[in-house]
Structure 1
Amino acid sequence: MTSPYADIIDLLKLPPDGDEAAVAAVRARDLTLTKPPGSLGKLEGLVEFLARWQGKAAPTVADPMVAIFAGNHGVTDEGISAYPRAVTAQMVANFTNGGAAVSQICAMHELNLRVFELALELPTGNITREPALDDKMCAATIAYGMEAIAGNPDLLCVGEMGIGNTTVAAAIFAALYGGSGADWVGRGTGVDDAGLARKAAAVDAALALHRDALIDPLAILARLGGREIAAILGAIISTRHQHVPVIVDGFVATAAAAIAHAVNPAAIDHCIFAHVSAEQGHQRALAAMGKPALLQLDLCLGEGSGAALAAVLVKTALHLHNNMATFAEARVSGKID
């Protein structure tokens, strides 16, 4: 019997390479701009990142998208969140009505915001008692995420919304990298000490229950994850094959990237990680993948807010690259040989 993940694994294991000729063209132009070489630091690297993964010597950020994937989680029955599950749908409405932080960031900086609801009326299974998803549903949700960027943005920021999803992300990281629930859980939406203990216990219970089934990264995703994490994984897969660079938001979105990385570390080379979350496990997860973060702002909001802020930096970096004067245009003397 063919695995429902067969095509997904093929796409992860055979991603297209970046365009080094495009990077070389960006570097050549950079050397002509009125500044010392390398003086814009990581901003220069961001333009190279765009060129490499768009495959364009003149990269663009003309149609950036912030995509928020929203899902609900049965594990909230374990008292692991400070807010009720109904808040997921309420916040989805807040995103689309312009009331959320990410809505305002996107409006101010001309980033397209799209919100994808993933069966909010049907929470995943409570991972302390049953799998979150069966393999068929998990694969279908990954496929849904692959289709979500059909509008062909030139830069994708991935974020999420889902009460309880920091608990399932912690479970994914623990399954991938080892450790107990206490090593990975944080306060999420602001749980007290008792709530934090319940989160750690829920992760430990889920790891014990599913231990024999956690045989590969996609099995970990199905048993312990959530629809929004599966959909983000799909978006990450699809963007690589469509030559769209990706900015990954915080703790939960990073869990999706970690699944891809566990299948093939090169599968997320077209991703940058926006920021280090205030969630205690985020830095540990980034370190496990050998991935630096662009920003450190002590954010723990989720909803793509950190990725949107990182996109502002990317837009700024490209604007400088395209619009600064060259030495010749400005009649400024170049570096002495």
Structure 2
Amino acid sequence: MTLTSSLITLETTVRQRIDHKTKPLGALGRLEELALQIALIQRTETPALSNPHLLVFAGDHGLAAEGVSAYPADITYSMVRNFIAGGAAINVFCRQNGLNLLVCDVGVNGSFEENTDNFVKYKIRPGTRNMRYEAAMTPDECEAAIDAGKTLVNGVQYRDCNVIGFGEMGIGNTASAALLMHRLTNLPLEQCVGRGTGLTDSGLAHKRSILREVADQYVQLTDPMAILTAMGGLEIAAIVGGLLQATENGMLILIDGFIATAALLVAHALNPAVRQHCIFCHQSDETGHQLMLNFLNAQPLLTLNLRLGEGTGCALAYPIVQAAVGMLNEMATMDSL
């Protein structure tokens, strides 16, 4: 039996199991679709969620010097310290919902002396260059960040993790994500650029002006890796690597908001199979995220007007993923009554 035919057989079997649960046909709506997707990703009638992890990659952006964010660049460093100390929103939600949080510095402009189980250092350089004047990364730096993401995914899979989500921290990274979105979807730049952490109208106009200048500077680039190298972020590149490796490992992938989905656009351009492994956890309040989801033909589980990043949408949606698997494995069938 070929792989394709075996998956068709598995899909038929799982659909029949779901349809015969003690409920009206289709009564659990999206949960039924989610259970089927997870079963197909794991290629089993009885999927299991094991040792879920959320990886938060952090890096600074040289473009932040152009005033594209409402917050100063040094907030990246402060927030990473907050993650390590356990005081951020993502720490709270991971504790509440049983996800292991691992924070990784791939490009923060600052040194960390912390030696804790929830923090690792793969610093490539202290932030990207200012892409208004030169490419954000060299090809070697971009590859190194991608390799960092792959390494961390393999590390947590070694701990029997088969569910992984990705978060990020980096002042200015909505600018980078908007540029990646623009180039990889061919949508007008104005539809891709939003307020980020809360820009005023004048701040938004300035951000759009700067990003138009950057986009025009690199308009000749068509290769996804070249686009990522020129206009990406170290933390975004690390997520790209993590997505590619998680797909190769057959893992279930939780997709967060605007930045993480921009990384997915790159990973998807490099390997379209990534899309099949993804659960889209929420629709961000950031301008452009819904258009990203439409481009990927994705329907998010939650719409909570979040625009924080950090992987918070993944942590909040994870109980729904657990519910879908629980329904498939534990709910009685009509035949058993």
State the TM bucket, normalised to the shorter chain: 0.7 to 0.9
Aligned to 2:196: 188
Whole-Å Cα distance in 2 between the matches of residues 236 and 323 of structure 1?
30
Question: Which sections of structure 2, spanning at least 5 residues, go unmatched?
Answer: 110-125
Matches within 5 A, 1:24-173: 24-121=12-109, 122-149=126-153, 150-152=155-157, 153-173=161-181
Q: 1:307 aligns with which of 306, 310, 314?
A: 314
Whole-Å Cα distance in 1 between the matches of residues 231 and 89 of structure 2?
28
Residue 258 of structure 1: how far off its partner (Å): 0.6
> Which letter does structure 1 place at the counterpart of 2:31?
L
Q: Which moved more, 1:147-156 or 1:31-40?
A: 31-40
Number of corresponding residues: 314
TM-score by length of 2: 0.88
> Which letter does structure 1 place at the counterpart of 2:225?
L
Establish whether residue 256 from structure 1 lines up as the match of residue 244 from structure 2: no
Whole-Å Cα distance in 1 between the matches of residues 7 and 245 of structure 2?
17
1:19–1:53 Cα contact (<8 Å) kept? no
2:107–2:235 Cα contact (<8 Å) kept? no
Cα-to-partner distance string for 1:4-31 (whole Å, 9 max, x where unaligned): xxxxxxxxxxxx9794454444333323
Residue 224 of structure 1: how far off its partner (Å): 0.3
Aligned to 1:7: none
Whole-Å Cα distance in 1 between the matches of residues 326 and 223 of structure 2?
42
Residue 181 of structure 1: how far off its partner (Å): 3.8
Q: Which moved more, 1:189-198 or 1:219-228?
A: 189-198
Whole-Å Cα distance in 1 between the matches of residues 273 and 164 of structure 2?
18
Identity of aligned residues (%): 40
Aligned to 2:273: 266
Whole-Å Cα distance in 1 between the matches of residues 132 and 329 of structure 2?
52
Whole-Å Cα distance in 1 between the matches of residues 80 and 44 of structure 2?
35
Whole-Å Cα distance in 1 between the matches of residues 156 and 293 of structure 2?
29
Aligned to 1:220: 227
1:246–1:272 Cα contact (<8 Å) kept? yes
1:69–1:160 Cα contact (<8 Å) kept? yes
Establish whether residue 317 from structure 1 lines up as the match of residue 324 from structure 2: yes
SS at match of 2:69: coil
1:261–1:289 Cα contact (<8 Å) kept? no
> Which letter does structure 1 place at the counterpart of 2:196?
G
Whole-Å Cα distance in 2 between the matches of residues 306 and 76 of structure 1?
25
1:180–1:200 Cα contact (<8 Å) kept? no
TM-score by length of 1: 0.88
Distance 1:320 1:290, change over 3 A: closer
Whole-Å Cα distance in 1 between the matches of residues 21 and 131 of structure 2?
54
SS at match of 1:116: strand
Aligned to 1:207: 215
Whole-Å Cα distance in 1 between the matches of residues 67 and 29 of structure 2?
45
Residue 34 of structure 1: how far off its partner (Å): 1.2
SS at match of 1:62: coil
1:133–1:223 Cα contact (<8 Å) kept? yes
SS at match of 2:94: helix
Whole-Å Cα distance in 2 between the matches of residues 168 and 215 of structure 1?
16
Distance 1:20 1:140, change over 3 A: farther
2:107–2:128 Cα contact (<8 Å) kept? no
> Which letter does structure 1 place at the counterpart of 2:135?
P
SS at match of 2:322: helix
Aligned to 2:183: 175
Give me the CA root mean square deviation.
1.9
